[in-house]
């Protein structure tokens, strides 16, 4: 069974309306609740747990106007026991409030239905001194996520206060995240990336053809903004710096694929069969998407000082880029 608690508030947005799910999240952060994921809030809404001015709504994206009353029944899963495990963690920084990890590719972040052990969370429980811990949701607080096969920098909050502050920064989009990626391009004369910089602004939602994937969709998706910059061009690829204003599922992979520049090694999005045989075999054998979260910058939750942390390129991606650089 899940525990339940009721909250109510009056939305007081002055000049702008706000989505219902975003308004609930903002309120929970403000009243010192641990911030749930947007997907969990959307589940509450779709399960008739939210009322606007006394009327049930099932639309997470409905826009609230100032003065409307929101009532919400918060439900949370019962804590589950997560065993600490001796999993290699590359720690870039640690203090009393937070950890910054350089996550290796292939490491799942949270236990799930298909994997109960061998995750980053199991390793964190062990690292923080516990043989096992009751984890309601995601404690220790992993503030944001990386795909299993994406490497790079990841923030972990050690306490609820730190988690609330960092979650608020993510919500306000004041956290800066830079990724680097190796994408597929046809020879330069046919390249879709004819400029050195660009921005992709296309909504992302569930693919109508395959509900296990995401896609750029004309209707019903969530707004997503991706900025890219070419660091180096190759005959059959480009090494990019990518920053995102939003954090949609598979955002970089979907956006780059939508403009004809899919990530090397990404088996879910895009088609790289136009590569020469040698490069195609190498891309297939690489075993993951060529994407690395290189840098994150934010305001330290305790000192209030700006901080930035960088995760060096992993050896597999460095080697892959060097092969693309040599190919003529």
Give yes or no for a cis peptide into 140 (omega within 30° of 0): yes
Helix and strand totals (H; E) in the chain: 7, 20
**Main-chain phi, psi angles of 53, to 5 degrees:** 50, 40
Q: Are strands 80-83 and 132-135 parallel, antiparallel or unpaired?
A: antiparallel
Strand residues in the chain grouped as ranges (E): 3-10, 18-19, 50-52, 55-56, 63-64, 69-76, 80-83, 90-94, 98-103, 132-135, 141-142, 151-157, 176-184, 197-201, 204-206, 214-216, 225-234, 237-244, 291-299, 306-310
Residue bearing tokens 């053809």: 209
Residue 147 appears among annotated catalytic residues = yes
Exactly one of 71, 95, 97, 147 is catalytic; name it: 147
Which of 290, 247, 281 has its CA nearest to residue 105? 290
Taking a C-beta distance cutoff of 8 angstroms, is the pair 63, 70 a contact?
no
Q: Which residues are known to be catalytic?
A: 147
């Amino acid at each position: 069974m899940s525990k339940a608690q009721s909250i109510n508030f009056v939305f007081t947005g002055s000049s702008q309306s706000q989505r219902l799910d975003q308004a609930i999240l903002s309120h929970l952060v403000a009243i010192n609740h641990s911030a749930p994921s947007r997907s969990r809030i959307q589940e509450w809404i779709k399960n008739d747990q939210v009322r606007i001015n006394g009327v049930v709504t099932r639309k997470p994206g409905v826009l609230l106007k100032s003065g409307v009353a929101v009532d919400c029944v918060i439900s949370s899963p019962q804590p589950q026991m997560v065993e600490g495990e001796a999993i290699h963690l590359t720690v870039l920084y640690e203090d009393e409030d937070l950890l910054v990890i350089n996550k290796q590719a292939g490491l799942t972040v949270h236990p799930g239905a298909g994997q109960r052990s061998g995750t980053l969370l199991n390793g964190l429980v062990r690292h923080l001194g516990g043989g096992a811990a009751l984890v309601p949701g995601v404690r220790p607080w992993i503030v944001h996520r990386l795909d299993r096969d994406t490497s790079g920098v990841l923030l972990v909050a050690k306490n609820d206060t730190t988690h609330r502050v960092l979650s608020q920064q993510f919500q306000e989009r004041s956290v800066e995240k830079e990724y680097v990626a190796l994408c597929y391009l046809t020879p330069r004369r046919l390249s879709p990336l004819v400029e050195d910089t660009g921005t992709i602004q296309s909504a992302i939602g569930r693919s109508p053809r395959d509900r296990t994937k995401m896609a750029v969709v004309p209707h019903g998706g969530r707004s997503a903004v991706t900025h890219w910059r070419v660091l180096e061009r190759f005959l059959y690829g480009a090494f990019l710096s990518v920053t995102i204003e939003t954090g949609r599922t598979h955002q970089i992979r979907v956006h780059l694929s939508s403009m004809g520049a899919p990530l090397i090694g990404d088996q879910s999005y895009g088609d790289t069969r136009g590569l020469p045989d040698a490069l195609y075999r190498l891309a297939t054998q690489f075993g993951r998407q060529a994407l690395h979260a290189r840098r994150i910058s934010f305001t330290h939750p305790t000192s209030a000082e700006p901080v930035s942390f960088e995760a060096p390129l992993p050896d597999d991606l460095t080697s892959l880029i060097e092969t693309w650089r040599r190919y003529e």
